[in-house]
Chain A
Amino acid sequence: MATIELQRVEKKFGDLHAVKPIDLTIHDGEFVVLLGPSGCGKTTTLRMISGLEAVTGGRILLNNRDVTWAHPSERDIAFVFQFFALYSHMSVRQNIAFPLQAQGESRETIRQRVAEVARLLEIGHVLEAKPGSLSGGDRQRVALARALVRRPAAFLMDEPLGALDAEFRETMRAEIKRLHIEQHATSVYVTHDQIEAMAMGDRIVVMSDAVVQQVGTPAQVYHDPANLFVARFIGSPGMNLLTGHYAGGTVRVRENMTYQVPGDWVPALDRALDGEGEVILGFRPEAAAVNSEGLPATVYATDLLGGYTMLHLEIGDHEIVHARAGRETHYSIGTPVRFALDPAMVRFFDPKTEKAIVREVTA
């Protein structure tokens, strides 16, 4: 359907740099997620792609056509808003037909397309109702139908699941993704929820403070975060990060806590830190196994979730480490425990640059 290319696109509000220059290529049929906390610039970037916000610099290309200054209606994109933006005085059918009427399509075409889209999204039974009487999930389906009916080159979605109840969010998430696959639609999706991003994205663009932190597949951003921000932001809870002193193949986190660095990491650390220095050790909760050997800690809190237990361990001074354990694990607060780390899942970061230390792949 469409390739979207952003070339050094940036946005400034006076002196405030809302979006620093971005280079991004979205391939035909790809589902790209712009992910980040509030204020990181993801919504502004989406709005620049749509034309609702004028760029301060750079170019936007849609199918190799320069659309940087094209009117939003000339860009052949559909925008889905967080708060649905449905016309409350019109019926669902009229809402969906509206974009086609604006384009001047014939009545027959409109009728056909509305029926098609309503069948696709299973809202045929509410076509005559007003949006105000529908549930949140149904309203979002109507908003999606309105976007779909135009058969645009690309879909831009601004946190469409944000206004829905938790139960709807899961089902709508899968629905949107399945719709995307069936329609082969190029989509750009904005969210602050990293679970949504991981579940839906073909590629995720992690942003923070107007800057792109990392672009990668869910697997890449999860297992190989490029810097500390991505490591903390992705995953619930985020990656555990312990600061320590590296020397001679071990990292000393605390007086009584020394971690033996796995052999294949030693050359990389030696090179990055010039033999010794401060380093940050990172590992995901599933990499930490609570047993009788390993690093010492005290239980701070326990989350007994249906399928597993999340242990929050205090290693001293308000510093919490999260470890994932089986369902049957029950610890009371204050119990001293030990935990060991899976050597394949540890990562290291340079505290000065906040970037990940890269381990060379040995053939």
Chain B
Amino acid sequence: MSDVALQNITKRFKDVTALDDVSFSIKDGEFFVLLGPTGAGKTTTLRVLAGLEKPDAGAVLFDGVNITDFTPADRDVAFVFQQYSLYPTRTVYQNLAFPLRSPLRKWPKDRIDRRVKEVAEKLRITHLLERKTANLSGGEMQRVSLGRALVRSPRVFLMDEPLSNLDAKLREALRIELQHLQKTERSTTLFVTHDQVEALTMADRIAVLNQGRIVQIGTPDDIYDRPVTTFVAQLVGIPRINLLPATRENGTLLVEDSALRLGLPEGPTVPPRFLLGIRPEDVRLGAGGDQRGEVVLTEPLGVETVIHIQSGKQTVLSIVPGITALKIGDTISFSIVRERLHCFDLDGARL
């Protein structure tokens, strides 16, 4: 396993800049997640790391060695694609053995056989070894894709949204397994996704990517509790963070177009007009609250319920455990936890 570092990588496709001065490093054994919306440049980053794309500027280093000019074969990385990674006319065994049969390796047959069976055992697909991959279910196919990567013991695992095409239930189950595998094997992994639940649950550290630029790098806690821009704040958290335009008047905070008034939070000074970020779990419903609003929608999710509260023209989302007795049209009082307010300037940067 290796340390990986990207330094000032820029990549252009005709007139589109896919990656703009991207730099980050991954420690040996770390599960690093690249999070961002579609088109942010996540897949391009992976492909530059793998050697399938050549960067226009910048360098890629493995353990301090510049490998920017190395071919994919010489980099010794394993790539798990989002789809089309298995050869449909071959059996699972042949798919798993394929990476080991490459001329670079020259492994004897029985060694290949042992390794394939070992990995199949770990991923619990031993019973599928003789089946053609076209006859597998989605979850089984993805396990075989993971197996193909595992079979080689490469320096780095590169995974391109491997769980995106699966059913919600399957995604959950495979995610937990992947987490457990990575933590026990201590493999250096770069995992790309647009799903923030995947990012938050699996990552040791996350890099948020938007339109080819790194916005923030940090642990899941950092990203969740201290987002540096409104973009990052809105990216993580279910349900989404409430982002409300606000003004400062003397010592109080007023949310525009609504009846919400709050005391100023401690910390940096706040300009006259700014954006206020409140996480739904910090909107506490209860009789003692100093704010008032009307319930316009309730979304029962079973374990908790999302309440949409309207005050003036603004809607605030709150989340309460269990099923609620509140109905649409009810007036309720609530309070907002002052210590956990996020303030951003009008451009979206954290104050």
Q: Please count how many residues in chain A sit with their CB below 8 Å of the partner chain's CB atoms.
A: 45
* B32: min CB distance to chain A, Å: 16
Contact A303 B279 (CB under 8 A): no
B306 close to chain A: CB less than 8 A:
yes
Closest chain-A Cβ to B304's Cβ sits at a distance in Å of 9
Contact between chains at A238 and B169 (CB < 8 Å):
yes
Given the interface pairs A166-B194, A304-B200, A324-B303, the reply to whether A178 lies near B167 with Cβ below 8 Å is: no
Is there a chain B Cβ closer than 8 Å to A320's Cβ? yes
The verdict on B104 contacting chain A, using a C-beta distance below 8 Å, is no
For A306, list chain B residues within 8 Å (CB). 200, 224, 236-238, 279, 281
Docked Cα-Cα span, A186 to B221, in Å, equals 43
Is the beta-carbon distance between A320 and B196 smaller than 8 angstroms?
A: no
Among residues of B, the one whose C-beta sits closest to the C-beta of A136 is B38
Point out the residue from A174, A198, A303 that lies within 8 Å of B301, measured CB to CB.
A198
Enumerate chain A residues within 8 angstroms of B280, measured Cβ to Cβ.
307
Q: Which A303-332 residues have a C-beta within 8 angstroms of B?
A: 303-307, 310, 312, 320, 324
| Cβ < 8 Å to B, chain A residues 326-351 | 333
A320 to B179, CA, bound (A): 13
In the complex, what distance in Å separates the CA atom of A277 from the CA atom of B172? 32
B297 within 8 A of A: yes
Give chain B interface residues in 192-240, CB to chain A under 8 Å.
194-197, 200-201, 220-221, 224, 234-240
CB-CB under 8 A from B134, the residues of chain A are none
**Contact of A234 with B by CB under 8 A:** yes
Q: Which of B169, B176, B297 contacts A233 (CB 8 A)?
A: B169
Of chain A, the residue at the smallest CB distance from B299 is A199
A233 and chain B: residue at smallest CB distance: B169
Residues on A with C-beta less than 8 A from B37 are: 165, 167
- Contact B167 A37, beta carbon cutoff 8 Å: yes
Which A residues touch B281, using CB under 8 A? 306-307
Quick check: B299 and A167 within 8 Å, CB to CB?
Answer: no
Chain B, 58-103, CB within 8 A of any chain A CB: none
A37-B167, A306-B237, A333-B184 as given contacts; A312 in contact with B301, CB under 8 Å: no
A199 / chain B contacts, CB cutoff of 8 Å? 299-301, 306
Identify the 4 closest CB pairs spanning chains A and B, nearest first.
A199-B299, A222-B302, A303-B201, A307-B281
Residues of A within 8 A of B (CB): 37-38, 165-167, 170-171, 173-174, 177-178, 181, 192-195, 198-200, 218-219, 222-223, 232-238, 284-286, 300-301, 303-307, 310, 312, 320, 324, 333
28 A–B contacts, CB within 8 A, in A order: A37-B167, A166-B194, A166-B195, A166-B196, A170-B239, A171-B240, A173-B299, A178-B296, A192-B167, A192-B168, A194-B168, A198-B301, A199-B299, A219-B323, A222-B300, A222-B302, A235-B302, A238-B169, A301-B180, A303-B179, A303-B200, A303-B201, A304-B220, A307-B237, A307-B238, A307-B319, A333-B183, A333-B184
